[in-house]
Protein backbone atom coordinates (compact mmCIF):
# COMPACT_ATOMS: atom_id res chain seq x y z
CA UNK A 1 0.00 0.00 0.00
CA UNK A 2 1.44 3.38 -0.93
CA UNK A 3 0.87 6.26 1.45
CA UNK A 4 2.05 9.62 0.10
CA UNK A 5 5.69 9.07 -0.75
CA UNK A 6 6.14 6.01 1.45
CA UNK A 7 5.74 2.38 0.48
CA UNK A 8 4.37 0.62 3.55
CA UNK A 9 3.88 -3.15 3.71
CA UNK A 10 1.21 -4.00 6.27
CA UNK A 11 2.08 -7.60 7.13
CA UNK A 12 -1.10 -9.16 8.45
CA UNK A 13 0.32 -12.39 10.03
CA UNK A 14 2.53 -10.45 12.45
CA UNK A 15 0.39 -7.32 12.82
CA UNK A 16 3.42 -5.21 12.01
CA UNK A 17 4.45 -2.97 9.14
CA UNK A 18 7.70 -1.96 7.49
CA UNK A 19 8.16 0.67 4.83
CA UNK A 20 10.46 2.96 2.92
CA UNK A 21 10.39 6.53 1.69
CA UNK A 22 10.23 6.34 -2.08
CA UNK A 23 10.79 8.79 -4.90
CA UNK A 24 8.86 6.89 -7.54
CA UNK A 25 8.06 3.61 -9.27
CA UNK A 26 10.67 2.54 -11.80
CA UNK A 27 9.06 -0.55 -13.25
CA UNK A 28 6.27 -3.05 -12.92
CA UNK A 29 5.70 -6.39 -14.60
CA UNK A 30 3.00 -8.99 -14.17
CA UNK A 31 4.66 -12.33 -14.77
CA UNK A 32 2.66 -15.56 -15.15
CA UNK A 33 3.27 -16.08 -11.41
CA UNK A 34 3.30 -12.75 -9.62
CA UNK A 35 3.44 -8.99 -9.84
CA UNK A 36 6.93 -7.52 -9.54
CA UNK A 37 7.42 -3.81 -8.83
CA UNK A 38 10.59 -1.76 -8.56
CA UNK A 39 10.73 1.53 -6.63
CA UNK A 40 13.46 4.04 -6.07
CA UNK A 41 13.94 5.02 -2.41
CA UNK A 42 15.57 8.01 -0.75
CA UNK A 43 17.90 5.99 1.50
CA UNK A 44 17.77 2.31 0.55
CA UNK A 45 18.59 2.27 -3.14
CA UNK A 46 16.19 0.22 -5.24
CA UNK A 47 13.28 -1.65 -3.67
CA UNK A 48 11.75 -4.82 -5.15
CA UNK A 49 8.19 -5.74 -4.24
CA UNK A 50 6.56 -9.05 -5.18
CA UNK A 51 2.78 -9.32 -4.81
CA UNK A 52 2.86 -6.46 -2.34
CA UNK A 53 5.62 -7.93 -0.15
CA UNK A 54 9.04 -6.29 0.22
CA UNK A 55 11.62 -8.65 -1.27
CA UNK A 56 14.83 -6.70 -1.07
CA UNK A 57 16.50 -3.32 -1.08
CA UNK A 58 19.90 -2.44 -2.51
CA UNK A 59 21.15 -1.42 0.90
CA UNK A 60 20.19 -4.25 3.19
CA UNK A 61 19.92 -7.46 1.14
CA UNK A 62 23.43 -8.54 2.18
CA UNK A 63 22.24 -9.79 5.56
CA UNK A 64 19.93 -12.33 4.01
CA UNK A 65 22.13 -13.39 1.10
CA UNK A 66 25.16 -13.90 3.32
CA UNK A 67 23.28 -15.74 6.05
CA UNK A 68 21.46 -18.15 3.75
CA UNK A 69 24.77 -19.04 2.06
CA UNK A 70 27.84 -18.94 4.28
CA UNK A 71 26.64 -20.71 7.45
CA UNK A 72 25.48 -23.79 5.52
CA UNK A 73 28.55 -23.84 3.27
CA UNK A 74 30.91 -23.56 6.26
CA UNK A 75 28.97 -26.32 8.01
CA UNK A 76 29.15 -28.88 5.21
CA UNK A 77 32.61 -30.50 5.23
CA UNK A 78 33.30 -29.91 1.51
CA UNK A 79 30.36 -28.58 -0.51
CA UNK A 80 30.88 -29.05 -4.25
CA UNK A 81 27.42 -29.37 -5.76
CA UNK A 82 24.88 -26.73 -4.69
CA UNK A 83 21.26 -26.29 -5.77
CA UNK A 84 19.37 -23.06 -5.11
CA UNK A 85 15.58 -23.29 -5.32
CA UNK A 86 14.13 -19.83 -5.87
CA UNK A 87 16.77 -17.14 -5.45
CA UNK A 88 15.80 -15.43 -8.69
CA UNK A 89 17.46 -12.15 -7.72
CA UNK A 90 20.78 -14.06 -7.95
CA UNK A 91 22.21 -12.62 -4.71
CA UNK A 92 22.45 -16.05 -3.09
CA UNK A 93 24.15 -17.49 -6.17
CA UNK A 94 26.74 -14.73 -5.94
CA UNK A 95 27.52 -15.55 -2.30
CA UNK A 96 27.66 -19.31 -2.97
CA UNK A 97 30.16 -18.86 -5.78
CA UNK A 98 32.51 -16.96 -3.47
CA UNK A 99 33.42 -20.42 -2.14
CA UNK A 100 36.19 -21.70 -4.41
CA UNK A 101 35.41 -25.33 -3.51
CA UNK A 102 31.94 -25.13 -5.04
CA UNK A 103 32.14 -26.80 -8.46
CA UNK A 104 28.60 -26.15 -9.65
CA UNK A 105 25.63 -24.14 -8.47
CA UNK A 106 22.25 -24.48 -10.14
CA UNK A 107 19.66 -21.80 -9.46
CA UNK A 108 16.12 -22.88 -10.27
CA UNK A 109 13.53 -20.12 -9.97
CA UNK A 110 10.07 -20.50 -11.43
CA UNK A 111 9.91 -16.87 -12.49
CA UNK A 112 12.39 -15.62 -15.09
CA UNK A 113 11.06 -12.10 -14.66
CA UNK A 114 12.57 -11.86 -11.15
CA UNK A 115 16.01 -12.45 -12.63
CA UNK A 116 15.42 -10.05 -15.53
CA UNK A 117 14.37 -7.33 -13.07
CA UNK A 118 17.37 -8.05 -10.86
CA UNK A 119 19.77 -7.86 -13.82
CA UNK A 120 18.33 -4.44 -14.61
CA UNK A 121 17.91 -2.90 -11.13
CA UNK A 122 20.23 -4.93 -8.87
CA UNK A 123 23.08 -5.70 -11.33
CA UNK A 124 25.57 -6.10 -8.46
CA UNK A 125 23.63 -9.20 -7.31
CA UNK A 126 24.06 -10.74 -10.77
CA UNK A 127 27.85 -10.39 -10.78
CA UNK A 128 28.36 -14.15 -10.86
CA UNK A 129 25.65 -15.13 -13.31
CA UNK A 130 28.21 -15.73 -16.02
CA UNK A 131 30.53 -17.72 -13.76
CA UNK A 132 31.18 -21.02 -15.61
CA UNK A 133 30.07 -22.89 -12.46
CA UNK A 134 26.64 -21.22 -12.51
CA UNK A 135 23.54 -22.65 -14.16
CA UNK A 136 20.35 -20.57 -14.26
CA UNK A 137 17.11 -22.44 -14.83
CA UNK A 138 13.61 -20.98 -14.91
CA UNK A 139 11.47 -23.87 -13.91
CA UNK A 140 9.39 -25.36 -11.13
CA UNK A 141 11.63 -26.00 -8.12
CA UNK A 142 9.37 -28.75 -6.80
CA UNK A 143 9.70 -30.67 -10.08
CA UNK A 144 13.41 -29.94 -10.28
CA UNK A 145 14.10 -31.48 -6.89
CA UNK A 146 11.78 -34.42 -7.60
CA UNK A 147 13.79 -35.19 -10.74
CA UNK A 148 17.21 -34.62 -9.21
CA UNK A 149 19.39 -37.77 -9.21
CA UNK A 150 19.46 -39.38 -5.78
CA UNK A 151 22.50 -38.60 -3.67
CA UNK A 152 23.83 -36.04 -6.12
CA UNK A 153 23.72 -32.79 -4.15
CA UNK A 154 25.78 -31.48 -1.22
CA UNK A 155 23.69 -28.45 -0.31
CA UNK A 156 20.13 -27.44 -1.21
CA UNK A 157 19.31 -23.79 -0.51
CA UNK A 158 15.62 -22.90 -0.53
CA UNK A 159 15.59 -19.15 -1.10
CA UNK A 160 11.90 -18.58 -1.61
CA UNK A 161 9.16 -16.09 -0.95
CA UNK A 162 6.71 -16.63 1.93
CA UNK A 163 4.81 -19.94 2.11
CA UNK A 164 1.84 -18.62 0.15
CA UNK A 165 1.39 -18.32 -3.63
CA UNK A 166 4.12 -19.71 -5.90
CA UNK A 167 6.32 -20.80 -2.95
CA UNK A 168 3.65 -22.73 -1.03
CA UNK A 169 4.88 -26.08 -2.37
CA UNK A 170 8.36 -25.47 -0.95
CA UNK A 171 7.27 -25.83 2.67
CA UNK A 172 5.86 -29.37 2.90
CA UNK A 173 6.84 -33.01 3.40
CA UNK A 174 6.64 -33.95 -0.30
CA UNK A 175 9.17 -31.29 -1.28
CA UNK A 176 11.44 -32.09 1.65
CA UNK A 177 11.36 -35.78 0.67
CA UNK A 178 12.69 -34.83 -2.76
CA UNK A 179 15.44 -32.79 -1.11
CA UNK A 180 16.26 -35.65 1.25
CA UNK A 181 16.58 -38.06 -1.66
CA UNK A 182 18.65 -35.69 -3.78
CA UNK A 183 21.11 -34.94 -0.99
CA UNK A 184 24.14 -37.10 -0.30
CA UNK A 185 24.26 -38.69 3.14
CA UNK A 186 26.22 -35.75 4.53
CA UNK A 187 24.21 -33.19 2.59
CA UNK A 188 22.46 -30.23 4.17
CA UNK A 189 19.20 -28.49 3.37
CA UNK A 190 18.85 -24.83 4.32
CA UNK A 191 15.71 -22.78 3.95
CA UNK A 192 14.72 -19.22 4.72
CA UNK A 193 12.44 -19.65 7.72
CA UNK A 194 10.71 -16.33 8.39
CA UNK A 195 10.76 -14.31 11.61
CA UNK A 196 12.07 -16.12 14.69
CA UNK A 197 10.23 -13.60 16.83
CA UNK A 198 6.74 -13.48 15.39
CA UNK A 199 6.57 -16.61 13.25
CA UNK A 200 8.17 -19.21 15.51
CA UNK A 201 5.20 -21.54 15.12
CA UNK A 202 5.84 -21.57 11.38
CA UNK A 203 9.47 -22.53 11.99
CA UNK A 204 8.32 -25.29 14.30
CA UNK A 205 5.91 -26.63 11.67
CA UNK A 206 8.58 -26.41 8.99
CA UNK A 207 10.97 -28.44 11.12
CA UNK A 208 8.21 -30.97 11.78
CA UNK A 209 7.59 -31.38 8.04
CA UNK A 210 11.33 -31.75 7.43
CA UNK A 211 11.36 -34.39 10.15
CA UNK A 212 8.56 -36.34 8.46
CA UNK A 213 10.71 -36.39 5.33
CA UNK A 214 13.58 -38.02 7.26
CA UNK A 215 15.75 -35.15 8.41
CA UNK A 216 16.87 -35.68 11.99
CA UNK A 217 18.80 -32.63 13.11
CA UNK A 218 17.91 -28.96 12.79
CA UNK A 219 19.46 -25.59 13.48
CA UNK A 220 17.72 -22.25 13.13
CA UNK A 221 20.02 -19.24 12.81
CA UNK A 222 18.62 -15.73 13.35
CA UNK A 223 19.93 -12.55 11.74
CA UNK A 224 18.84 -8.95 11.19
CA UNK A 225 16.94 -8.29 7.98
CA UNK A 226 15.48 -4.78 8.18
CA UNK A 227 13.21 -5.08 5.14
CA UNK A 228 11.35 -8.21 6.35
CA UNK A 229 8.56 -8.28 8.93
CA UNK A 230 9.91 -7.63 12.47
CA UNK A 231 13.37 -6.87 11.01
CA UNK A 232 14.64 -10.17 12.36
CA UNK A 233 14.75 -13.23 10.16
CA UNK A 234 16.13 -16.76 10.11
CA UNK A 235 17.37 -19.67 8.09
CA UNK A 236 16.88 -23.27 9.18
CA UNK A 237 19.45 -25.98 8.43
CA UNK A 238 18.43 -29.65 8.29
CA UNK A 239 20.64 -32.75 8.08
CA UNK A 240 19.92 -36.42 7.49
CA UNK A 241 22.02 -37.23 10.53
CA UNK A 242 24.84 -35.86 12.64
CA UNK A 243 25.39 -32.42 14.06
CA UNK A 244 26.33 -29.04 12.74
CA UNK A 245 30.09 -28.98 13.06
CA UNK A 246 31.16 -25.57 11.98
CA UNK A 247 34.39 -25.20 9.95
CA UNK A 248 35.36 -22.24 12.10
CA UNK A 249 38.97 -21.93 10.91
CA UNK A 250 37.91 -22.00 7.29
CA UNK A 251 35.30 -19.33 7.97
CA UNK A 252 37.82 -17.18 9.83
CA UNK A 253 40.19 -17.46 6.86
CA UNK A 254 37.58 -17.40 4.14
CA UNK A 255 39.55 -15.28 1.71
CA UNK A 256 36.57 -13.34 0.44
CA UNK A 257 34.72 -10.31 1.72
CA UNK A 258 31.41 -10.19 3.50
CA UNK A 259 29.57 -7.24 5.00
CA UNK A 260 27.83 -8.99 7.90
CA UNK A 261 28.93 -12.62 8.18
CA UNK A 262 31.94 -13.48 10.37
CA UNK A 263 33.11 -16.67 12.02
CA UNK A 264 32.50 -15.35 15.57
CA UNK A 265 29.01 -14.23 14.56
CA UNK A 266 28.31 -17.73 13.23
CA UNK A 267 29.49 -19.30 16.48
CA UNK A 268 27.39 -16.83 18.44
CA UNK A 269 24.12 -17.80 16.76
CA UNK A 270 24.65 -21.55 17.08
CA UNK A 271 23.05 -21.30 20.51
CA UNK A 272 19.47 -20.14 20.10
CA UNK A 273 18.10 -17.29 22.21
CA UNK A 274 16.33 -18.86 25.20
CA UNK A 275 12.82 -17.92 24.09
CA UNK A 276 13.46 -19.48 20.67
CA UNK A 277 15.03 -22.62 22.16
CA UNK A 278 12.00 -23.05 24.40
CA UNK A 279 9.46 -22.97 21.56
CA UNK A 280 11.58 -25.17 19.30
CA UNK A 281 12.25 -27.64 22.09
CA UNK A 282 16.04 -27.32 21.89
CA UNK B 1 0.84 9.05 12.14
CA UNK B 2 -2.18 6.79 12.33
CA UNK B 3 -3.39 5.14 9.13
CA UNK B 4 -6.67 3.25 9.54
CA UNK B 5 -6.01 0.82 12.36
CA UNK B 6 -2.23 0.91 12.06
CA UNK B 7 0.19 3.11 13.97
CA UNK B 8 3.04 3.84 11.55
CA UNK B 9 6.15 5.77 12.56
CA UNK B 10 7.74 7.37 9.52
CA UNK B 11 11.33 7.84 10.67
CA UNK B 12 12.77 10.63 8.58
CA UNK B 13 16.53 10.21 9.32
CA UNK B 14 16.60 6.66 7.91
CA UNK B 15 13.82 7.00 5.34
CA UNK B 16 12.18 3.90 6.77
CA UNK B 17 9.00 3.18 8.66
CA UNK B 18 7.85 0.69 11.27
CA UNK B 19 4.35 0.21 12.56
CA UNK B 20 1.84 -1.94 14.37
CA UNK B 21 -1.78 -2.91 13.94
CA UNK B 22 -3.65 -1.29 16.80
CA UNK B 23 -7.07 -1.73 18.32
CA UNK B 24 -7.23 1.65 20.03
CA UNK B 25 -5.60 4.32 22.13
CA UNK B 26 -5.57 3.55 25.85
CA UNK B 27 -4.05 6.71 27.24
CA UNK B 28 -2.32 9.94 26.46
CA UNK B 29 -0.53 12.43 28.67
CA UNK B 30 1.35 15.59 27.87
CA UNK B 31 4.11 15.84 30.48
CA UNK B 32 6.23 18.98 30.90
CA UNK B 33 8.75 17.29 28.58
CA UNK B 34 6.97 15.22 25.99
CA UNK B 35 3.73 13.61 24.84
CA UNK B 36 3.30 9.99 25.90
CA UNK B 37 0.69 7.78 24.24
CA UNK B 38 -0.29 4.18 24.93
CA UNK B 39 -1.99 1.99 22.32
CA UNK B 40 -3.28 -1.53 22.39
CA UNK B 41 -2.07 -3.70 19.51
CA UNK B 42 -3.38 -6.94 18.01
CA UNK B 43 -0.09 -8.86 18.29
CA UNK B 44 2.43 -6.85 20.30
CA UNK B 45 0.67 -6.14 23.55
CA UNK B 46 0.80 -2.51 24.63
CA UNK B 47 2.67 0.09 22.61
CA UNK B 48 4.25 3.24 24.10
CA UNK B 49 4.86 6.24 21.87
CA UNK B 50 6.81 9.32 22.96
CA UNK B 51 6.55 12.42 20.78
CA UNK B 52 5.50 10.23 17.87
CA UNK B 53 8.38 7.76 18.21
CA UNK B 54 7.82 4.11 19.13
CA UNK B 55 9.43 3.52 22.53
CA UNK B 56 8.51 -0.05 23.35
CA UNK B 57 6.01 -2.85 22.96
CA UNK B 58 5.13 -5.49 25.54
CA UNK B 59 6.31 -8.23 23.21
CA UNK B 60 9.70 -7.11 22.02
CA UNK B 61 11.23 -4.79 24.64
CA UNK B 62 13.29 -7.63 26.13
CA UNK B 63 15.91 -7.39 23.38
CA UNK B 64 16.78 -3.82 24.30
CA UNK B 65 16.51 -4.12 28.06
CA UNK B 66 18.65 -7.25 28.18
CA UNK B 67 21.30 -5.94 25.78
CA UNK B 68 21.75 -2.56 27.47
CA UNK B 69 22.18 -4.31 30.84
CA UNK B 70 23.83 -7.72 30.75
CA UNK B 71 26.76 -7.17 28.35
CA UNK B 72 28.07 -4.22 30.37
CA UNK B 73 27.47 -5.89 33.71
CA UNK B 74 29.24 -9.07 32.59
CA UNK B 75 32.12 -6.96 31.27
CA UNK B 76 32.79 -5.00 34.45
CA UNK B 77 34.75 -7.19 36.88
CA UNK B 78 32.42 -6.62 39.86
CA UNK B 79 29.72 -3.99 39.34
CA UNK B 80 28.22 -2.82 42.63
CA UNK B 81 27.06 0.74 42.06
CA UNK B 82 24.99 1.34 38.91
CA UNK B 83 23.39 4.55 37.64
CA UNK B 84 20.74 4.52 34.93
CA UNK B 85 20.14 7.84 33.17
CA UNK B 86 16.73 7.79 31.52
CA UNK B 87 15.20 4.34 31.60
CA UNK B 88 11.88 5.63 32.92
CA UNK B 89 9.98 2.52 31.84
CA UNK B 90 12.03 0.66 34.48
CA UNK B 91 12.81 -2.32 32.24
CA UNK B 92 16.55 -1.71 32.41
CA UNK B 93 16.42 -1.37 36.20
CA UNK B 94 14.70 -4.76 36.38
CA UNK B 95 17.47 -6.41 34.33
CA UNK B 96 20.25 -4.70 36.31
CA UNK B 97 18.82 -5.93 39.60
CA UNK B 98 18.88 -9.53 38.38
CA UNK B 99 22.63 -9.33 39.15
CA UNK B 100 23.00 -10.23 42.83
CA UNK B 101 26.33 -8.41 43.08
CA UNK B 102 24.73 -5.06 42.34
CA UNK B 103 24.34 -3.24 45.65
CA UNK B 104 22.54 -0.14 44.44
CA UNK B 105 20.97 1.04 41.23
CA UNK B 106 19.75 4.61 40.81
CA UNK B 107 17.43 5.39 37.93
CA UNK B 108 17.27 9.07 37.08
CA UNK B 109 14.68 9.95 34.44
CA UNK B 110 13.62 13.52 33.85
CA UNK B 111 10.01 12.54 33.22
CA UNK B 112 8.05 10.92 36.04
CA UNK B 113 5.11 10.39 33.69
CA UNK B 114 7.04 7.74 31.74
CA UNK B 115 7.35 5.69 34.91
CA UNK B 116 3.72 6.26 35.89
CA UNK B 117 2.59 5.08 32.46
CA UNK B 118 4.89 2.08 32.64
CA UNK B 119 3.59 1.10 36.08
CA UNK B 120 0.09 1.17 34.65
CA UNK B 121 0.58 -0.42 31.22
CA UNK B 122 3.85 -2.34 31.50
CA UNK B 123 3.73 -3.48 35.15
CA UNK B 124 6.03 -6.44 34.43
CA UNK B 125 8.84 -3.97 33.70
CA UNK B 126 8.36 -2.40 37.13
CA UNK B 127 8.76 -5.68 39.01
CA UNK B 128 11.91 -4.49 40.74
CA UNK B 129 10.93 -0.91 41.54
CA UNK B 130 10.45 -1.79 45.20
CA UNK B 131 13.71 -3.72 45.45
CA UNK B 132 15.59 -2.18 48.44
CA UNK B 133 18.61 -1.67 46.16
CA UNK B 134 16.58 0.50 43.75
CA UNK B 135 16.34 4.28 43.87
CA UNK B 136 14.01 6.08 41.49
CA UNK B 137 14.68 9.77 40.88
CA UNK B 138 12.80 12.07 38.58
CA UNK B 139 15.35 14.69 37.74
CA UNK B 140 17.68 16.00 35.07
CA UNK B 141 20.21 13.28 34.21
CA UNK B 142 22.77 15.83 33.04
CA UNK B 143 22.69 17.58 36.43
CA UNK B 144 22.63 14.26 38.29
CA UNK B 145 25.82 13.07 36.62
CA UNK B 146 27.48 16.50 37.04
CA UNK B 147 26.81 16.33 40.79
CA UNK B 148 27.75 12.69 41.22
CA UNK B 149 30.76 12.19 43.56
CA UNK B 150 33.94 11.53 41.57
CA UNK B 151 34.95 7.88 41.30
CA UNK B 152 31.76 6.62 42.91
CA UNK B 153 30.09 4.63 40.16
CA UNK B 154 30.91 1.30 38.52
CA UNK B 155 28.52 1.41 35.59
CA UNK B 156 26.58 4.27 34.01
CA UNK B 157 23.78 3.16 31.69
CA UNK B 158 22.37 5.85 29.41
CA UNK B 159 18.96 4.53 28.42
CA UNK B 160 17.56 7.53 26.64
CA UNK B 161 15.36 8.53 23.75
CA UNK B 162 16.89 9.72 20.46
CA UNK B 163 19.39 12.60 20.56
CA UNK B 164 16.73 15.24 19.99
CA UNK B 165 14.40 16.89 22.50
CA UNK B 166 14.84 16.06 26.19
CA UNK B 167 17.70 13.61 25.52
CA UNK B 168 19.83 15.89 23.37
CA UNK B 169 22.12 16.78 26.28
CA UNK B 170 22.99 13.11 26.83
CA UNK B 171 25.02 12.82 23.63
CA UNK B 172 27.80 15.38 24.03
CA UNK B 173 31.27 15.90 25.53
CA UNK B 174 30.04 17.83 28.58
CA UNK B 175 27.77 14.99 29.69
CA UNK B 176 30.41 12.35 28.95
CA UNK B 177 32.92 14.33 31.05
CA UNK B 178 30.55 14.10 33.99
CA UNK B 179 30.22 10.35 33.45
CA UNK B 180 33.98 9.98 33.14
CA UNK B 181 34.51 11.82 36.43
CA UNK B 182 31.79 9.90 38.27
CA UNK B 183 33.08 6.52 37.16
CA UNK B 184 35.77 4.65 39.05
CA UNK B 185 38.94 3.93 37.09
CA UNK B 186 37.61 0.55 35.97
CA UNK B 187 34.10 1.88 35.42
CA UNK B 188 32.15 1.50 32.19
CA UNK B 189 29.70 3.77 30.43
CA UNK B 190 27.12 2.18 28.16
CA UNK B 191 24.66 4.08 26.00
CA UNK B 192 21.94 3.11 23.54
CA UNK B 193 23.47 4.06 20.22
CA UNK B 194 20.78 3.87 17.56
CA UNK B 195 20.82 1.77 14.37
CA UNK B 196 24.19 0.30 13.41
CA UNK B 197 22.92 -0.04 9.85
CA UNK B 198 21.43 3.35 9.07
CA UNK B 199 22.85 5.60 11.77
CA UNK B 200 26.49 4.51 11.86
CA UNK B 201 27.69 8.10 11.45
CA UNK B 202 25.85 8.97 14.65
CA UNK B 203 27.61 6.13 16.48
CA UNK B 204 30.92 7.38 15.13
CA UNK B 205 30.19 10.92 16.35
CA UNK B 206 29.08 9.61 19.74
CA UNK B 207 32.32 7.68 20.15
CA UNK B 208 34.27 10.77 19.11
CA UNK B 209 32.50 12.85 21.79
CA UNK B 210 33.16 10.13 24.37
CA UNK B 211 36.80 10.20 23.31
CA UNK B 212 37.02 13.96 23.83
CA UNK B 213 35.79 13.36 27.38
CA UNK B 214 38.67 10.98 28.04
CA UNK B 215 37.29 7.53 27.24
CA UNK B 216 39.84 5.50 25.31
CA UNK B 217 38.23 2.20 24.33
CA UNK B 218 34.85 1.52 22.75
CA UNK B 219 32.74 -1.43 21.78
CA UNK B 220 29.46 -1.24 19.88
CA UNK B 221 27.21 -4.29 20.21
CA UNK B 222 24.32 -4.80 17.76
CA UNK B 223 21.08 -6.62 18.48
CA UNK B 224 17.60 -7.00 16.97
CA UNK B 225 15.00 -4.52 18.16
CA UNK B 226 11.94 -4.85 15.93
CA UNK B 227 10.18 -1.71 17.16
CA UNK B 228 13.08 0.68 16.41
CA UNK B 229 14.02 2.07 12.99
CA UNK B 230 15.58 -0.63 10.77
CA UNK B 231 14.80 -3.28 13.41
CA UNK B 232 18.49 -3.46 14.31
CA UNK B 233 19.86 -1.44 17.19
CA UNK B 234 23.00 -1.09 19.27
CA UNK B 235 24.58 -0.16 22.56
CA UNK B 236 28.06 1.34 22.83
CA UNK B 237 30.36 0.65 25.76
CA UNK B 238 33.15 3.05 26.70
CA UNK B 239 36.01 2.60 29.18
CA UNK B 240 38.60 4.93 30.62
CA UNK B 241 41.27 2.41 29.71
CA UNK B 242 41.77 -1.27 29.09
CA UNK B 243 39.76 -3.70 27.03
CA UNK B 244 36.41 -5.39 27.27
CA UNK B 245 37.20 -8.65 29.02
CA UNK B 246 33.98 -10.56 29.12
CA UNK B 247 33.18 -12.64 32.24
CA UNK B 248 32.07 -15.48 30.01
CA UNK B 249 31.82 -18.16 32.69
CA UNK B 250 29.76 -15.90 34.93
CA UNK B 251 27.43 -15.11 32.03
CA UNK B 252 27.10 -18.79 31.15
CA UNK B 253 26.16 -19.52 34.78
CA UNK B 254 24.22 -16.39 35.45
CA UNK B 255 21.51 -18.00 37.55
CA UNK B 256 18.69 -15.85 36.20
CA UNK B 257 16.53 -16.06 33.12
CA UNK B 258 16.79 -14.03 29.95
CA UNK B 259 14.82 -14.31 26.74
CA UNK B 260 17.49 -13.21 24.27
CA UNK B 261 20.85 -12.72 25.99
CA UNK B 262 23.25 -15.66 26.24
CA UNK B 263 27.00 -15.91 26.80
CA UNK B 264 27.67 -17.28 23.27
CA UNK B 265 25.58 -14.48 21.78
CA UNK B 266 27.65 -11.95 23.73
CA UNK B 267 30.89 -13.49 22.47
CA UNK B 268 29.51 -13.50 18.94
CA UNK B 269 28.83 -9.77 18.84
CA UNK B 270 32.20 -8.76 20.29
CA UNK B 271 33.54 -8.81 16.73
CA UNK B 272 31.72 -6.18 14.70
CA UNK B 273 30.23 -7.03 11.31
CA UNK B 274 32.81 -6.02 8.67
CA UNK B 275 30.80 -3.09 7.31
CA UNK B 276 30.40 -1.70 10.84
CA UNK B 277 34.07 -2.25 11.70
CA UNK B 278 35.07 -0.38 8.55
CA UNK B 279 33.04 2.74 9.33
CA UNK B 280 34.06 2.73 13.01
CA UNK B 281 37.71 2.19 12.14
CA UNK B 282 38.01 -1.02 14.17
Could you state, in order of their start, the residue ranges of all structural domains in chain B?
6-57, 61-280
Instruction: Tell me the C-alpha distance between B82 and B187, whole Å.
Output: 10
| Residues B234-259, mean pLDDT to the nearest whole number | 96
pLDDT for the residue numbered A168: 86
Q: Residue B1's pLDDT band (boundaries 50, 70, 90)? A: very low
Compare CB distances from B226 to A10, A43, A197 and report the shortest one's residue: A197
What phi, psi does B204 have (nearest 5°)?
-65, -45
CATH number of A6-57: 2.30.140.10
- Please indicate whether residue B169 or residue A158 has the higher confidence score (pLDDT): A158
Do B20 and A15 count as a contact with CB atoms less than 8 A apart? yes
Which residues of B are annotated as part of the binding site for S-methyl-5'-thioadenosine?
34, 109, 140-141, 166
Q: Which CATH architecture has domain B61-280?
A: 3-Layer(aba) Sandwich (3.40)
Tell me which chain A residues have a C-beta less than 8 angstroms from the C-beta of B21.
Answer: 10, 12, 15-17
**By CA distance, what is B22's nearest residue in A?**
A15
Instruction: Tell me the C-alpha distance between A49 and A124, whole Å.
Output: 18
The pairing of beta strand A53-57 with beta strand A46-50: antiparallel
pLDDT for the residue numbered B167: 83
Q: Are B136 and B112 in contact (CB under 8 A)?
A: no
Catalytic residue among A27, A60, A159, A245: A159
Instruction: Tell me the C-alpha distance between A242 and A186, whole Å.
Output: 8
> What is the distance in angstroms between the Cα of A226 and the nearest Cα belonging to chain B?
5
What phi, psi does A46 have (nearest 5°)?
-85, 155
What's the pLDDT tens digit per position in B97-149?
999 999 999 999 999 999 999 999 999 999 999 999 999 999 999 999 999 99
Compare CB distances from B273 to A41, A226, A260 and report the shortest one's residue: A260
In the DSSP assignment, the letter for residue A12 is G
pLDDT for B3 beyond 60: no
The pairing of beta strand A35-41 with beta strand A81-86: unpaired
Could you tell me if B248 lies within 8 Å of chain A, comparing CB atoms? no
End-to-end CA distance of chain B: 39
Could you tell me if B256 lies within 8 Å of chain A, comparing CB atoms? no
Do A262 and B270 count as a contact with CB atoms less than 8 A apart? no
Do A267 and B269 count as a contact with CB atoms less than 8 A apart? no
| Residues B212-236, mean pLDDT to the nearest whole number | 97
Predicted model pTM: 0.96
Tell me which chain B residues have a C-beta less than 8 angstroms from the C-beta of A269.
Answer: 265, 268
CB atoms within 10 A of CB A140: 16
Beta bridge partners of A224: A232
Q: Residue B165's pLDDT band (boundaries 50, 70, 90)? A: confident
Annotation says A139 is catalytic: no
Could you tell me if B151 lies within 8 Å of chain A, comparing CB atoms? no
pLDDT for A3 beyond 80: no
Q: Exposed/middle/buried for A47, CB within 10 Å: 0-12, 13-18, 19+?
A: buried
What's the pLDDT tens digit per position in A66-115?
999 999 999 999 999 999 999 999 999 999 999 999 999 999 999 999 99
Instruction: Tell me the C-alpha distance between B182 and A255, whole Å.
Output: 45
Amino acid sequence: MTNDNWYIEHFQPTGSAIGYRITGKLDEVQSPFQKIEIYNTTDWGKLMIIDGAVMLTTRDNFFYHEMISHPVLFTHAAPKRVVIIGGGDCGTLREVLKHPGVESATQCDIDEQVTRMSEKYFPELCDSNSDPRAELLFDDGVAYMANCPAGSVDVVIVDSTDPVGPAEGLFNKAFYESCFRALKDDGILVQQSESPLALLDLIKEMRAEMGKAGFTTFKTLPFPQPCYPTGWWSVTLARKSGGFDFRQDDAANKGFETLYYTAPLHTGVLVSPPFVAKVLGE
